[in-house]
Structure 1
Amino acid sequence: MPQYTNERRNVRTLCNMVGRMASALLVLGLCLSFTHAAHILAVFSYSFPAPFLLVTPYMKALVQNGHQVTIVSSFNHLTDIEGARHIRVQLLDQLMHDLLNYDFISNYPLSKWAQSTIISQFFRNSSYYILSDPQVQGLLRDPNVHFDMIILQASHTDALYGLAQHFKASLVGLSAYGTAWNIDYLAGNKAPSVYEPMQPEGYSNGISLVDRFINWVYITEEWLMDRMIFLPKQLDLYKHYFNRTAESLYEIRRNFSLMLINHHFSLGRARSNVPNVIEIAGMHMSEPIEDLEPALQRFMDEAVDGVIYFSMGLEIVDKWLPPHVLTILQEAFEQLPWRVIWKSDLETLPNKSDRIYLSHMLAQRKLLSHSNLKLFITHGGILSIIEAAFNGVPMICLPMYYDQFGNAERMKQAGVAQVLSMATMTLESTTQIIKEVIENPKYAKNAEQMAMRLRDQPMSPLETAVWWTEYVIRHKGAPHMRLSEQDMSFMQYYSLDIASMLFGRIGLAIIIVTCVGIKLLRLLKKPFVLRIYHVP
């Protein structure tokens, strides 16, 4: 009996020791975790719901990893994230209301300069509403407030870059709409992709010398719009709220530590990214998929011939579409054998048949994953493109503005989509293209291959985004990731230095030879004339 008691005592002592060691390891782990925890200020001036599909899982993951996150956003589009501090700027929601009331139909199509004027004022107001918000001003005026990192919407929000200077924090950009030359510029890429404009409509996809020259003029025009329309409005706000010079803003514009772009090379084109540009397309796919309502689920399941899904995204409302587009689509759908799910803000359509299911809000990812879905007719927004590509669904794109034209063209070049123009579409062309994409097996095959490539990644896009964000935190802004000014200039990347040297020398040689030749001809002519003159 005493031996048995001693054994129990020894076991109890051993268990206590193991428990204390486990507790010590847990405390040590927590200490290490908090050592790397950062104070992050995330500022999102988006007034549309779509970008917050990316923002939400990204912010949740940072909070779950122990970071202290303060989020500045609109009221309506970002739900509360447990563990994060929210600063709601109600006036940002007014921006969307004003845009919805704009008469796009009467002014369609808008020129690039007209679009830039409208959009620049939109971004100017969003930056102003944030910087003038009392809670944001409270952060700026409190000497005890400190942030290690500022995460914000990258493009056309230059006045907000001053937050990074004010708090002496690293600056991270999130480009929800993919990328373009201006994003490359901010990321420090000395060789921006000159064939990726901000507004791809009218941009040439050719590679001839004439096409390249036209595109160079196109990009130059966009650069002028950025400098003459977008930047001045932001610069005025920056000077007012941060009391700094223009040169100071130009400096921070080229000082992003990290640029997260909603793109992936499997979506039609690889890019020459510098190290601090990270592709995170599909980051929102980590969120749970919503179920379909029972009536819609039955509508999909019972579709023997298959289903066409038509949606112009979360932001485009039907009143923005030219009336003939809605008429053509409805007539085409009525003629075709497939069922149609139509996302619309309208309550009903005139003479709508039972083969058309109308709804103002749909679980898009669930629809795209259904085996009976044959075709996705989309505006070409990047999130819709990613979701369709992820599920291997062929597409028809109806682009309307900005990045949608470029997205649509890439899908067409990849063989997974066709493109319809709102200006030239007819009932016959629309019906023919729908039949072509559904009945020609090459589109489904190419879409399936794209899905396999997009899914085949070492980490999920969300894990990639979080890992690189924390990498920047661990390495105090990671300045070593940026391309050095001396490493690769625009002239060097495009071999313009060699070309200028080569053609300069050739040109100089031609000039010298020409001058010498002319001089020799004159010398030869001169004696000849003299000989004629002296002939007896």
Structure 2
Amino acid sequence: MKTFAALLLLLLLFCHKWQQLNAASILCLIGTAQHYNPGWTKPFFEALAGRGHSLTVIGTQPDLGLPHIRQIFLPNEHDVVKKHYTNDMGHYRHHWDIKQLLIWYEALLGGCRSITEANFYKTFDMTALKYDLIIYDATFSMDCLLTTLPRYRSVPVLGLSGGKFTTDLIDLVQGEDTISAATIPHFIGRLPITMNYWQRIQNHVMYLAESFIHWAVVQPVLNGMLESGVSSIKAQVVLLNTHPVLDYVQNMPPNVIEVGGLHIRAESEPLPFSLQEFIERFSEGIVYINLPHIELMYGLGLKAVESMIKEFSQLGFLWNVNNLKDLQLSESLYNLRAISVFDNMQQNILAQSNVKAFLTHGDSFGIQEAIYNAVPIIVLPLLMDQMNNGERVQERYLGVCISAKNFSVDSFSAALKQIIRDEIYLEELRQAQLNFRTRPAKPVDLAIWYAEQLVSQPDIFKQSSVPESSQRSYFVRKSLDVLSLPLLFFLFFFANVVLAIMQSIVTDNQKKTAKQVKKLNGIGKEQSSDKEQKED
């Protein structure tokens, strides 16, 4: 028995030693602003640290507080909401789609400016550090920290995007452009999946504007902002926080991997006792509210929430007031509990069995958490890709989307009433939940596999890139030069047909004119003959 125990101990020591020998040193760069939820990567980083890898996390992510993780906080206070979506009266400012696209890129540039002006950027010396893998936030496809680390050009790069599948991401992985503007609405727009002719024209304009803005605005500004200029950083693999349940079904390059729900923990954690007691008090269910920008809604936002709470007195309401200032709630609202939500507390609330609805602005993370727990969604989209998410939620009967233009005091009440009465929402959500949860591997396990493969074999995904494709012009990539040939033949044929018809018409007119002239000449001769006979 002692011999067996000794052998088991030796085996455990060997496995631990083997894990240490195979542990990698990983540099993680997270530069997105606080309101873009930089903490969504926490479960992934925890899992990597749990496997013995040593992580250096630099950026805006909240403190992880874990061994094997060295964390250096980097502030990014750039706030597009205050700058672009709030007018002088403190109300919501609506923008058309092209302007929303400009704001998307301005968020990238503003975040870069905030990072480059930080003291860390000027004083931290990384020349003595060696890393086996770089993981960076590729939500905006580019990271200013990453572009200024020429020493690590030979280190494999893993992109981690909390956004959508974009042309910038395709360029990042040097992939084939598989996005069709004829069938896939732009991620900033609010177009339906079944677009009519004029909507397809609008969608093409959005994609062309995206390329133009990147070439004419973003690249020159970044070159001027960064002293060494913007270097061409390419990622071997990008892990994308999307899933067909919410997002579009698209043909993606083999090195773009969907890991939608990477931030969602498989098991929920218990809620605080007082909060759990409040939830259990309402047998007909609760509603969870997370609307950090509700105060912008023309002075009607808070009134709309209170009106809904009063009308549905049989339901309990949990309201995350974390980002709300000077909030004054009526003391008569006995079915309301104002709370401050941190870390994964929102996931734990939505995991409760009696949650009837989730009110949100429409960020992908919150919507995925609702789908994971089959909770109907009420969306009030205000910013950039939230518009697209709201359209998808409504199209697929995952919930109701409220337009900011038509917002009123009764908007939330009407939406909640519709969700509770119409069973189609719960039916579609249960099917979506099944599809979202049923996968060959968990998102975090899939992400770890790709990270460790890049560490052990950095060139394994080299054949997945098509650098020649990204170097081709737009006309070549879309085969417009090929299509122009039959078009020219058609135009040549059409011009010849038109010319032949015109010649035929001219010839007929000439013949008719000749006949008329001949006829007139004949009449003239007859009149001359008659005149001569009369004179005789």
TM-score range, shorter chain: 0.7 to 0.9
- Residue 177 of structure 2 is matched in structure 1 by 190
Q: How far apart in 1 are the matches of 2:396 and 2:85?
A: 35
Corresponding residue to 1:152 among 99, 118, 136: 136
Q: For the Cα contact (< 8 Å) 1:158–1:231, is it kept in 2?
A: no
Corresponding residue to 1:41 among 24, 27, 31: 27
Corresponding residue to 2:317 among 337, 340, 345: 340
Note the 1:98-497 alignment, pairs <5 A: 99=82, 103=86, 105-106=90-91, 108-111=93-96, 120=105, 122-131=107-116, 136=121, 142=127, 144-154=128-138, 155=140, 157-163=142-148, 165-168=150-153, 169-187=155-173, 188-194=175-181, 195-201=184-190, 203=191, 205-238=193-226, 240=227, 243-244=228-229, 249=231, 251-252=232-233, 255-286=234-265, 289-312=268-291, 316-336=292-312, 337-344=314-321, 345=324, 348-350=328-330, 352-361=332-341, 363-477=345-459, 478-483=461-466, 485=468, 496=480
Q: Sort the Cα spacing of 1:341 and 1:21 in 2 relative to 1 into closer, same or farther, 3 A.
A: closer
Question: Is the aligned partner of 1:500 residue 2:476?
Answer: no
Q: Sort the Cα spacing of 1:98 and 1:422 in 2 relative to 1 into closer, same or farther, 3 A.
A: closer
- Residue 525 of structure 2 is matched in structure 1 by none
Q: For the Cα contact (< 8 Å) 1:417–1:437, is it kept in 2?
A: yes
Q: How far apart in 2 are the matches of 1:476 and 1:95?
A: 35
How far is 1:505 from its partner?
Answer: 2.4
Q: Sort the Cα spacing of 1:521 and 1:111 in 2 relative to 1 into closer, same or farther, 3 A.
A: closer
Q: Which residue identity lines up with residue 513 of structure 1 in the other structure? A: V
- Residue 3 of structure 1 is matched in structure 2 by none
Question: Is the aligned partner of 1:512 residue 2:487?
Answer: no
Q: How far apart in 2 are the matches of 1:301 and 1:460?
A: 31
Q: Sort the Cα spacing of 1:226 and 1:319 in 2 relative to 1 into closer, same or farther, 3 A.
A: farther
Q: For the Cα contact (< 8 Å) 1:276–1:482, is it kept in 2?
A: yes
Q: For the Cα contact (< 8 Å) 1:341–1:358, is it kept in 2?
A: yes
How far is 1:138 from its partner?
Answer: 6.2
How far is 1:87 from its partner?
Answer: 2.5
- Residue 4 of structure 1 is matched in structure 2 by none
How far is 1:232 from its partner?
Answer: 2.9
Question: Is the aligned partner of 1:80 residue 2:79?
Answer: no
Q: How far apart in 2 are the matches of 1:120 and 1:494?
A: 24
Q: Which residue identity lines up with residue 421 of structure 2 in the other structure? A: E
Q: How far apart in 2 are the matches of 1:97 and 1:403?
A: 13
Q: How far apart in 1 are the matches of 2:84 and 2:164?
A: 27
Q: How far apart in 1 are the matches of 2:338 and 2:283?
A: 19
Q: For the Cα contact (< 8 Å) 1:390–1:454, is it kept in 2?
A: yes
- Secondary structure (helix, strand or coil) at the match of 1:404 reads helix
How far is 1:423 from its partner?
Answer: 2.4
Q: Which residue identity lines up with residue 481 of structure 1 in the other structure? A: S
Q: How far apart in 1 are the matches of 2:12 and 2:319?
A: 57
Q: For the Cα contact (< 8 Å) 2:295–2:302, is it kept in 1?
A: no
How far is 1:428 from its partner?
Answer: 4.3
Which has a greater percent of helix? Answer: 1
1:410-442 deviation line (CA, Å, top 9, x unaligned): 121111211112321334454332112112211
User: Which has the higher mean CA deviation after the structures are superposed, 372-381 or 63-72?
Assistant: 63-72
Q: How far apart in 2 are the matches of 1:402 and 1:211?
A: 18
Q: Which residue identity lines up with residue 197 of structure 1 in the other structure? A: H
Q: How far apart in 1 are the matches of 2:277 and 2:8?
A: 55
Q: How far apart in 2 are the matches of 1:512 and 1:100?
A: 58
Q: How far apart in 2 are the matches of 1:107 and 1:272?
A: 36
Q: For the Cα contact (< 8 Å) 2:295–2:301, is it kept in 1?
A: no
- Secondary structure (helix, strand or coil) at the match of 2:337 reads strand
Q: How far apart in 2 are the matches of 1:531 and 1:420?
A: 75
1:285-311 deviation line (CA, Å, top 9, x unaligned): 237634322222122112122212221
Corresponding residue to 2:45 among 51, 59, 63: 59
Q: For the Cα contact (< 8 Å) 1:199–1:403, is it kept in 2?
A: yes
How far is 1:524 from its partner?
Answer: 6.6
Q: Which residue identity lines up with residue 183 of structure 1 in the other structure? A: L
How far is 1:226 from its partner?
Answer: 3.4
Q: For the Cα contact (< 8 Å) 1:267–1:411, is it kept in 2?
A: yes
- Secondary structure (helix, strand or coil) at the match of 1:284 reads coil
Mark the runs of 5 or more structure 1 residues left unpaired by the alignment: 1-7
Q: How far apart in 2 are the matches of 1:15 and 1:370?
A: 44
Percent identical across equivalent pairs? Answer: 19
Q: How far apart in 1 are the matches of 2:340 and 2:281?
A: 22
Q: How far apart in 1 are the matches of 2:125 and 2:501?
A: 72
Question: TM-score, normalized by length of structure 1?
Answer: 0.81
1:344-372 deviation line (CA, Å, top 9, x unaligned): 23554135410122223272222212122
Q: For the Cα contact (< 8 Å) 2:371–2:433, is it kept in 1?
A: yes
Q: Sort the Cα spacing of 1:227 and 1:523 in 2 relative to 1 into closer, same or farther, 3 A.
A: same
Q: Sort the Cα spacing of 1:288 and 1:237 in 2 relative to 1 into closer, same or farther, 3 A.
A: farther
Question: TM-score, normalized by length of structure 2?
Answer: 0.81
1:477-500 deviation line (CA, Å, top 9, x unaligned): 422112353599866776645543
Q: What's the C-alpha RMSD, in Å, of the aligned pairs?
A: 3.7
Q: For the Cα contact (< 8 Å) 1:158–1:234, is it kept in 2?
A: no
| Larger gyration radius, structure 1 or structure 2 | 2
- Secondary structure (helix, strand or coil) at the match of 1:296 reads helix
Q: Sort the Cα spacing of 1:146 and 1:264 in 2 relative to 1 into closer, same or farther, 3 A.
A: same
Q: How far apart in 1 are the matches of 2:103 and 2:352?
A: 39
- Secondary structure (helix, strand or coil) at the match of 2:135 reads strand
User: Which has the higher mean CA deviation after the structures are superposed, 288-297 or 378-387?
Assistant: 288-297
Q: Sort the Cα spacing of 1:518 and 1:360 in 2 relative to 1 into closer, same or farther, 3 A.
A: same
- Secondary structure (helix, strand or coil) at the match of 2:78 reads helix
